[in-house]
Chains A and B, each alone.
Chain A
């Protein structure tokens, strides 16, 4: 049956108010708590974004974003990360239907795409540092490396987390605790995408407008 039709057929007066049911189930509590964590993480990123905004023109005679950023490389990075979000979604579907092989496959592709993203980002950083555009060169570069690097660190953490979770699936199977953690991982991974969209826009797109 169509979900919308099913919802229409419920008599509102037969529904128990959610306040009458007491504590929410663990899955809801864990997911909600993790959402709150993600919000706090986004607040931290917003502080870094604000600092970047303040310091973006403080190049101290050094190179500017327009001189440094390579649009092609960043476009590939973005594609990797957005695709990995899609495969992460496929992994979540596989988990919901308890398909182990599909879960591993989804995780593997997600991991590889994430690693690819990191690889490109590190190459970009190494190239900049080699050309003298180090974070010590100017306040603008300090803010750039911190903001983008902080996102990169999150991606690194996410990759480690994903690897540990696959070990958990292999050893412990689809237990409720493991499923809740995988659910949180998916939230985390999608949130990193959202942050990257902001980053891509504010740093790389706006950075090359002269």
Chain B
């Protein structure tokens, strides 16, 4: 018996200078950071305050750190693809061999959707939702840490694939029969499947956690129609997670059974049905689009109301539109493969349903416009991202309506036109929103604002770079260029692809601006300090506590009397000014105890995942058994909560008078 399963030295691509360089750089980076942290003596602090933390704010920040790092990885893939397509025309073959190019586009899609966009929105929801609901933590704080750990495990596995073995060459959707063992005998598809199964479980647990939190643990007086819109969109997004992710889990489990045990779900022989995978995949995949985009819509709603100094226009219609999108999300999956050959009436149904989603989305756009209309708008960086989003997203949405027409779709199916379309909605729809939320909540999380001018530069580079990069792709798409081409012979496409590559360079300048902004802001943190806890003159409850908020969020749980709870209280405070505020009475607060279970579970998940990929069966048993023992031991712990004494809360409150002086 081979102790290391299929793993041999040949798994490491020593002959590929690009891959070895990239993975060498990553390993050096990790070693450097770990070494620095250890030498500086930060490890105990990191362990105590972050890795074992069950505080939703800390977990949110860690999700965002993961997402930002993976954004750099996914973006590097994008740069490589654009560079390859800019040069590999006619006789030139470019610098990437086909098998490497295939891995890059698969990794780009997988990383950007699962390990950038998902942790971005989940991180922002983690940070903001409990604060906005006026509560002290999520419904299941420790489960939240487990979710984070599982997401991190998936991320680790997919990055290991760069160095040990290979990644899938099947595209990020991994359609069979190509992804079956017969046509993809390597470990690439297994890396893809196991990292997504592990992180998908984490996402599902997150969804359950948020739905329960939002439906069952709101502050006193916060009825549904008093919830901030971001909480509504978070609710819709997490309902979609709960209803959609199990389908992905099932589909991938079937593909795994095909690959590992020779089942016949999607195989070409034995009666398998490959189109069933495509259907199941998109039954998850289309709701996934709204899982990502709805929280961003929530952020835009918060930003446009706050910085216009007005209540959100049409709150009720915004809520209705959000929930309508949530339901309609499940009625359109077939528009991803009109060419499957379903009957005309089936295609017509899904085409019409797809167009119908444009209606509630349009409602939202008008609501944001009317919120800004007549408002006293402050053109801060979050507002720039919001306006940039509206301008861009409307156009991207229109190309989506084009694609929803089955005959048109038949012409441009699988072309670069499609690639341009979905980047045109997902970059403004998710990435811009996440950047707006990052800038908007940064002072709440760290106690100082991000520097403005570098933020503006970053926005303009992204905005201009985005259009330069993706508009040409509509053109080459209509000229007949299919997606995922490592090389092409049509020389008339090349000028457009060179322009697209230039666009990526401009976006790169935007990313550099963001890194500079981060560094500059940390250096100038004393000037950018937010001492009030309410730097933007906000409307929702998170601005009513200190920045950064204490572990218990609110010394006394707020009582909500209307929509825009904090704004209402500020208005009321002006009226009652002069009356001395009653002295507060503090009570000890119980907060959930830190736990290493998230980290330990993540460790065993990585071990088991890696072992499964390489068929190292003893290690699979070790990983699974370890995780089981860890969970049982956790279930037997005696203390679940620690009490924070009233004096400490009083002391904190007196040092941060924002909440009291209101």
The digit string for A154-181, where 1 denotes a CB below 8 A from any CB of B, is: 0000000000100010011000010001
Indicate which residue in B249, B265, B270 contacts A60 across the interface (CB closer than 8 Å).
Answer: B270
- Cβ of B212 under 8 Å from chain A: yes
Q: Is the CB of B263 within 8 A of A37?
A: no
B140 at the interface (CB under 8 A from A): yes
Contact status B212-A41, CB under 8 Å: no
Q: Is B9 interfacial (CB-CB < 8 Å)?
A: no
**Chain A residues whose CB sits within 8 angstroms of the CB of B640 once the complex forms:** 177
Interface segment, B49-57, B185-193, B214-222? B214-222
A23 near B216 (CB under 8 angstroms)? yes
Nearest Cβ on chain B to A52's Cβ, whole angstroms:
10
- Is A168 within 8 A of B212, CB to CB? no
Instruction: State which of B212, B257, B261, B632 has its C-beta within 8 Å of the C-beta of A32.
Output: B212
| Cβ B246 vs Cβ A51 within 8 A | no
Bound: A137/B221 CA distance, A: 60
Which of A24, A47, A145 has the most chain B CB atoms inside 10 A of its CB? Answer: A47
B270 contact set on A, CB distance < 8 A = 58, 60, 136-139, 142
Interface string of B123-154 (1 = CB under 8 A from A): 00000000000010001100000000000000
- Give the distance in Å from the alpha carbon of A41 to the alpha carbon of B249 in the complex: 10
The one of A21, A36, A177 in contact with B220, judged by C-beta atoms closer than 8 angstroms, is A21
Contact-residue size bin, chain B (C-beta under 8 Å from the other chain) = 35 or more
Interface string of A119-151 (1 = CB under 8 A from B): 000000000000000011111111101100000
Contact of B264 among A22, A142, A172, A177 (CB under 8 A): A142
Knowing A33-B139, A39-B242, A58-B273 are in contact, say whether A146-B257 is a contact too (CB < 8 A).
yes
Bound Cα distance A14, B247 (Å): 45
Is B408 in the interface zone, CB < 8 Å from A?
no
Contact: A139 with B264, CB < 8 Å? yes
* Cβ of B455 under 8 Å from chain A: no
Q: Chain A, 83-102, contact with B by CB distance < 8 Å: what is the 0/1 string?
A: 00000000000000000000
A79 sits at the interface (CB 8 A): no
A54 and B276 form a contact (CB under 8 A): yes
A20 at the interface (CB under 8 A from B): yes
Minimum CB–CB distance for A210 against chain B, Å: 19
Chain B residue, CB-CB nearest to A33: B212
Contact of A19 among B139, B218, B280 (CB under 8 A): B218
Tally inter-chain residue pairs, CB-CB below 8 A: 138
Residue A194, interface by CB 8 Å? no
Asked if A76 is at the interface (CB within 8 A of a chain B CB), the reply is no
Which A residues are CB-close (under 8 A) to B251? 47
A44 at interface by CB-CB < 8 Å? yes
Q: Tell me, in angstroms, the Cα distance from A51 to B273 when the chains sit together.
A: 9
Contact A44 B250 (CB under 8 A): yes
Binary interface profile of B, 245-270, with partner A (CB < 8 Å = 1, else 0)?
A: 11101110110011001111101011
Q: CB within 8 Å of B: which of A48-86?
A: 48, 50-51, 54-55, 58-60
Q: Is the CB of B273 within 8 A of A54?
A: yes
Interface residues of B in 157-178 (CB under 8 A from A): none
Least CB separation from B269: chain A residue: A60
Which of A41, A51, A55, A145 has a CB less than 8 Å from the CB of B271?
A: A55
Contact A47–B250 (Cβ < 8 Å): yes
**Interface hit among B97-105, B107-115, B202-210, B340-348:** B202-210
> Is the CB of B272 closer than 8 A to any CB of chain A?
yes
B557 in the interface (beta carbon within 8 A): yes
Question: How far is A171 from B135 in the complex, measured between Cα atoms in Å?
Answer: 33
The distance in angstroms between the C-alpha atoms of A43 and B267, with both chains bound, is: 24
Given the complex, which residues of A lie within 8 Å of B219, measured CB to CB? 22-23
Asked if A33 meets B209 with Cβ closer than 8 Å, knowing A44-B246, A136-B261, the reply is: yes
A136 and B264 in contact (CB under 8 A), knowing A47-B250, A48-B250?
A: yes
Tell me whether A40 is interfacial, beta carbon within 8 Å.
yes
B273 engages A55 (CB within 8 Å): yes
Task: Report the Cα distance A144→B640, complex, angstroms.
Answer: 42
Nearest Cβ on chain A to B150's Cβ, whole angstroms = 15
- Shortest beta-carbon distance from B197 to chain A in Å: 12
- The interface residues of chain B lying within 8 Å CB-to-CB of A146 are 253-254, 257, 263, 265
Contact with B along A1-40 (1 / 0, CB 8 A): 0000000000000000101111110001110110011011
B479 on the interface (CB 8 Å rule)? Answer: no
Q: Are A36 and B242 in contact (CB under 8 A)?
A: yes
Interface: B223 (CB within 8 A): yes
Min Cβ gap A208→B in Å is: 20
| Bound Cα distance from A23 to B244, whole angstroms | 27
Considering only residues 196-240 of chain B, those with a C-beta below 8 Å from chain A are 204, 207-209, 211-212, 215-224
**B265 contacts A55, C-beta separation under 8 Å:** yes
Q: What are the residues of chain A within 8 A of B250 when measuring CB–CB? A: 44, 47-48, 51
Bound: A22/B558 CA distance, A: 9
CA distance A33 to B242 in the complex (A): 11
Please state if B263 and A136 are interface contacts (CB–CB under 8 Å). Answer: yes
With a cutoff of 8 Å between Cβ atoms, the chain B residues found around residue A24 in the complex are: 216-217
Task: Tell which of B216, B242, B263, B632 touches A142, judged by Cβ atoms closer than 8 Å.
Answer: B263
A29 to B212, CA, bound (A): 7
Given A24-B216, A55-B273, residue A44 in contact with residue B139 (CB < 8 A): no
A121: min CB distance to chain B, Å = 18
Contact between A29 and B635 (Cβ–Cβ < 8 Å)? no
Cα A23 to Cα B224 in complex, Å, equals 13
Interface centre among A60, A141, A143, A171 (most CB of B within 10 A): A143
| B246 CB contacts on chain A under 8 angstroms | 40-41, 43-44, 47
8 pairs, A vs B, C-beta closer than 8 Å? A22-B220, A28-B216, A36-B207, A44-B246, A47-B251, A55-B271, A58-B273, A138-B271
The 8 closest A-B pairs by CB, nearest first: A58-B271, A139-B271, A44-B246, A22-B220, A47-B250, A23-B217, A142-B263, A33-B212
